[in-house]
Amino acid sequence: MLAALAAALVLMIATLSGPPAGRTIAGTALPAAHPAGSTAGDPLPKRWQPSGTPQPSARLYVVKLEDHPLLTGNVRLPPVACQLPRFGRDEARLRAYYVPVRDCLDEAWRAALSAAGLPWSSPKMNLANNPGEVFCGDFDSADFTAAYCPDSEMIFLPVDRITRVDRGSPAVHLGVLAHEYGHHVQASVGILEAAYQREDKVGRDSAAGLELSRRTELQADCFAGLFLAAAAGRGNISRHLADSAVNTFRFGTLAKTHGAGSVQHTWARRGYVQATAAACNTWAAPASEVS
């Protein structure tokens, strides 16, 4: 049975040298459907499978948080060399840039999740400035800069909203895409569904519900750091560019649902430095580390 659930799956980053006056990357909760009632050990629901790619029965959609197998083992992303074109800020050049970044994210996360016996699929991307009414809601009226819709496995990257705050730096774009891909990983393996189920129990707008939102978002920050560590100093992602992408998280906004900018940066850097998914277990962290 499908249930309509909601999550704030957005990245809050301002600019490399601090947010310009009146400009922030903001987001909103958008409804999405998920396989409610799933339990640890359930086979991966058909609609979460990569198109045309049968999933081995050993790969499980595990609805857990603190003790999820992704977070309790020694899961690491392998080194990846991303071959990227020259960065440009118009839609055609951004699409040409995003596709190989997404492919590189695919390469790293596919290897890590497959080795851990967990499902993987490649997300779709939508760069439209006005995507309109989609399953997750009316994006045209939503206050967001980048978002992820779990049911459609779609990352939304409206060109006009991102370029409004990036100050021409590819570092912001790398951080945004890696963060949203982190939400895709959460959805693919069952972490996001477990968070929704717990959120339903406590109330999404309660203090406990807001803390769950922060744990979800901060984990996506940390997952972004994992990827940037795997790509740093290889291909076209120099160590300097990777460092800069991690540092953009310090300018995060929406502290209530995403954590203070300093906390967002701490978790992104934790993944970047420790380079293991276990370092991203925000669910087991004390409340003081996710505020």
d(Cα 151, Cα 170) in Å, to the nearest integer?
A: 28
Please state, in angstroms and rounded to a whole number, the distance separating the CA atoms of residues 191 and 172: 26
pLDDT tens profile 190-223: 999 999 999 999 999 999 999 999 999 999 999 9
Number of structural domains, the chain?
1
Q: Can you list the positions of beta strands (E) in 92-251?
A: 124-126, 133-134, 137-138, 147-149, 154-156
Q: Which of 120, 157, 156, 218 is nearest to 32 (CA)?
A: 156
pLDDT band with cut points at 50, 70 and 90 for residue 135: low
- Candidates 281, 109, 291, 286; CA nearest to 195 is 281
Query: CA-CA distance, 122 to 154, in Å (whole number)?
Result: 9
Residue 282 has pLDDT above 70, yes or no: yes
Which pTM does this prediction carry?
A: 0.83
Give residue 131's pLDDT.
80
- C-alpha pair distances (Å), 109 with each of 47, 68, 102: 19, 16, 10
pLDDT band at 133; cut points 50, 70, 90: low
Domain ranges, residue 277: 2-289
pLDDT at position 137 is 73
- 142 pLDDT higher than 90: no
What whole-number percentage of the chain has pLDDT above 70? 77
